[in-house]
Chain A
Amino acid sequence: MSSAATAMPHVHRDPKGAKIGMWLFLFTELLLFGGLFLLYAVYRYRYPADFHYAATHLDTFLGTVNTLILLTSSLTMALSIATFQQRKRKLSAWFLVITIVFGFIFLINKYIEWSTKIHHHIYPNSPELVQHTPGENIFYSLYYAMTGLHGLHVIIGIILLTVMCVLVARKPRRHVRVPRGEGAALALLDNSGSPILEESLGSGVTEVGFTLFDETDEETRESMLIKLENAGLYWHLIDIIWIFLFPLFYLIT
């Protein structure tokens, strides 16, 4: 008959492994955008004047503001992790909220930029744009493709951070499930071994599950920390991609 130890579910925790997995995923994002940056580089080399001209029509102020927003959101993300490490759970959740808000502001700015352009009939294959030079057409196609893909990743990041915010804000808890045989009883004991609560489980109970709420539970905290750090890594990557997008589209004047 299996002993109590093997009856417990085998829990395999490897924070370093989880971190490796996240970094590996980030590399796929790097290569994904890398293909677009490659196209940008080739076309920039081929149409330097057209790219230069088209870039002057992008709103550098708005682009700079967006850069500052994302940089600051990276700060608040890092602070969310740091405060969580210092066991300031509620503060950590608030920093996540601020980060998410920054993400939203970034997206709103993007929306303003895009809708302004589209309002002026500057979008891929618009009747207006096809009358411009080929280089300008390519510039705007790349602009929409790259900032669009980036914006999609910001949306995903916001969703991810929202989930993390909920998880961080909730009371830390651990779920335990233990299979048990007929006629088992459940007792909660204090430190001296005296029962605080005793409950005889009815017949036919094959598994006992309970949730333990514990602010000081190290294992739950560690598990939450690695999730938070990995979410942070994703967010910082979004920042880094924008760090490159910004000068390439807005500053080549």
Chain B
Amino acid sequence: MAESATLAAQPANYLNWKKGIASWIFSTDHKRIGMLYLMAIVSFFFVGVTLGFFMRIEQMTMGKTLMSAQTYNALFTLHGVIMIFLFIIPGIPAILGNFFLPILIGARDVAFPRLNLLSWWVYMAGAVLAVTALFTGGGPPDTGWTFYAPYSIRTGTNVTLAVFAAFVLGFSSILTGLNFITTIHRLRAPGMTWFRMPLFVWAHYATAWIQLLATPILGITLLLVIMERIFNLGLFDPSRGGDPVLYQHLFWIYSHPAVYIMILPAMGVITEILPTAAKKPAFGYKAIAFSSLTIAFVGYLVWAHHMFVSGISDTAAWIFSLLTFLVAIPSAIKVFNWTATLYKGSITFSPPLLYALTFIFLFSIGGLTGLVQGALLTDVHVHDTYFVVGHFHYVMFGGTAFGLLAGLLYWFPKMTGRMYSFKRSYVAWFFLFLGFNTLYFTMLVLGWEGMPRRYYDHVPEFHSGHVIATVGSWILILGLVLYAWNLFRSLKRGEPAPANPWGGVTLEWTIPSPPPHENFEEIPTITGGPYEFPTGEPA
């Protein structure tokens, strides 16, 4: 096959059937919208990485390295806001969910294609607003991404615009959730019953309900911050009878379920990769499906574990602690089921499998460190330290982001019609894994030893830890760059990919790579479960 074959020389597919920027940014094709999200989200991810890079440089020496304390506060605020609202929360649902959800259920598109396009535009509007907040008014916000009252009400920095940007971004999330729920209810192919859907779809169904029901609480919380700043409502101001702890309640009522918006889709990705790699059905299909729903529901019950030292009642503290232990159970069920899926499977090693296994490892560490925080006594010790920072990077980066990396490796051939270099992805993995653990495991140790988070400076006993972590961040960034470069260069120079490079049996592997505009020539009729592998010769 001619390596220089351009995408345009391929048969008609969603990439080449219409040309020009307008045909992309006004497209209602879920695949194009997924790609639009990919480009935007990856760009903002690297902005977030750059912010993190500079934060680590600052922590390289004691005292001032590069910037003032005020700048540092703005950096960690923006790092959080961009990574959370512009990268992780949209992340997998907007990119892989949009691209593959309809295909996996045998549909031609989502239920509301124009709303889908709107959700991308709303995302871009929110992103523009967020970036604008950097440069206008009193300067970038310095409150931390959590915008706690009363400081967020009183600070002169540009909280109002930043918070409004987050409000707008919330709408994008809500629209995606609304679209996915309706799509899954209404557009499954004939014969695809609920329990014949791929588990990636179940994961996105559970996620969509959280997006739909939790995000409005964030909406009203952010709106109230804006109202407080402009109209002095005083609802969170103690001098006016208000209660700042109520702000925290409202904030975390969204933001805890939000972490399940982040992790559930990643778990869905892993549950697709492992059966294909092992040529075996996912073990415990119903357990995995129901555990997704359970996580989504129980996730609403644990938010105040972020507030153990904020002044909540003792009764609330132990009840939320107990509930937090409960939510670990369905996650553990998934880990056991993944392991069992691999057991006695006919395993083919591949980059997606490697990254998926890494997810399981890193996410487990993250989950276990979560239990340390869920237990009241140990939480008092580690709250607001680098232990927390290490924990959430293990689950969000080692978890969700690695899930995205794995998913992109798995589905890149399908999305682009090109294969990438396995070797380069293994090399990238090496730097990613080494850098990640150097950076974040060190943080777990630093935090346990007492290094507070969101501190511009540190005392000598933490110095060597910070240096190690910073070096780790460089290795990690190198890994990210190698990973991205591998995929980027494969867009033009990769080998043309077959329809089914991994031998998968879900519907996306039955259509060409890249898929045609309408996905299927004929909507398939489903007669069996999603992971029925032919016995004997692999596909």
Contacts and interface: CB of A to CB of B under 8 A. Distances in A.
Interface string A23-40: 011011111111110110
A125 interface: yes
Contact of A17 (B186, B214, B235, B250): B186
A142 interface: yes
Given A125-B234, A138-B240, A141-B233, A20 B216 contact: no
Nearest to A25: B178
B232 A24 contact: no
B246 A39 contact: yes
Query: Interface range on chain B: under 10, 10 to 19, 20 to 34, or 35 or more?
Result: 35 or more
Interface residues of A, number: 38
A21 B234 contact: no
Interface stretch (A127-135, A178-186, A200-208, A244-252): A127-135
A124 B234 contact: yes
A125 B241 contact: no
Nearest to B211: A28
A7 B235 CA distance: 59
Contacts of A34: 216-217, 220
Interface string B233-253: 111000011110010001001
B287 interface: no
Interface in B98-115: 108, 111-112, 115
Given A134-B241, A138-B235, A138-B242, A24 B250 contact: no
A133 B241 contact: yes
Interface string A118-155: 00000011000010011101100110110001000000
B111 A35 contact: no
Interface in A87-133: 124-125, 130, 133
B304 to A, nearest CB: 14
Given A28-B213, A133-B241, A21 B231 contact: no
Contact of A28 (B179, B212, B221): B212
6 contacts: A10-B518, A12-B108, A33-B220, A124-B231, A134-B242, A141-B240
A32 B241 contact: no
Contacts of B181: 20, 24
B242 to A, nearest CB: 6
Given A10-B108, A17-B185, A24-B212, 11 more contacts: A10-B518, A17-B187, A21-B111, A24-B181, A25-B178, A28-B178, A31-B216, A31-B217, A42-B243, A134-B241, A137-B241
The 10 A-B pairs at the shortest CB distance, nearest first, are namely A134-B241, A125-B232, A35-B220, A31-B216, A32-B216, A141-B233, A17-B186, A28-B216, A24-B178, A138-B241
Contacts of A20: 181-182, 185-186
B269 interface: no
Contacts of A125: 231-234, 240
A18 B397 CA distance: 36
Interface string B176-214: 011101100111000000000000000000000000111
Nearest to B241: A134
A130 B242 CA distance: 13
B174 interface: yes
B241 A14 contact: no
Contact of A39 (B108, B174, B235): B235
Which residue of B111, B185, B213, B235 has the most chain A CB atoms within 10 A of its CB atom?
A: B235
A21 B178 contact: yes
Contacts of A42: 243, 246
Interface in B79-132: 108, 111-112, 115
B119 to A, nearest CB: 13
B227 interface: yes
B215 interface: yes
A175 interface: no
B419 interface: no
Contacts of B246: 39, 42
Contacts of A43: 241
B219 interface: yes
Nearest to A36: B220
A179 to B, nearest CB: 14
Nearest to A50: B241
A133 B227 CA distance: 21
Nearest to B242: A138
A226 to B, nearest CB: 13
A216 to B, nearest CB: 28
A38 B213 contact: no
A39 to B, nearest CB: 6
B174 A21 contact: no
Nearest to B239: A134
Nearest to B186: A17
B300 to A, nearest CB: 11
A57 interface: no
Contacts of A138: 234-235, 240-242
A124 B233 contact: yes
Interface string A51-76: 00000000000000000000000000
B224 interface: yes
A29 B220 CA distance: 10
Nearest to A6: B518
A32 B220 contact: yes
Nearest to B181: A24
Which residue of A16, A33, A34, A35 has the most chain B CB atoms within 10 A of its CB atom?
A: A35
Contacts of B217: 31-32, 34-35
Interface in A145-198: 145, 149
Contact of B111 (A10, A14, A32): A14
A142 B236 CA distance: 12
Contacts of B112: 21
A141 B212 contact: no
A28 B227 contact: no
Which residue of B215, B216, B253 has the most chain A CB atoms within 10 A of its CB atom?
A: B216
B216 A29 contact: yes
B227 A145 contact: yes
Contacts of A130: 240
A134 B240 contact: yes
Interface in B403-424: none
Contacts of A27: 212-213
A169 B217 CA distance: 38
A235 to B, nearest CB: 19
B232 A124 contact: yes
A164 B234 CA distance: 39
A35 B250 contact: yes
Contacts of B242: 134, 138, 141
A29 to B, nearest CB: 7
A138 B243 CA distance: 10
Contacts of A31: 213-214, 216-217
A244 to B, nearest CB: 15
B241 A24 contact: no
Contacts of B214: 31
Which residue of A33, A38, A46, A144 has the most chain B CB atoms within 10 A of its CB atom?
A: A38
Given A39-B250, A125-B231, A133-B241, A28 B111 contact: no
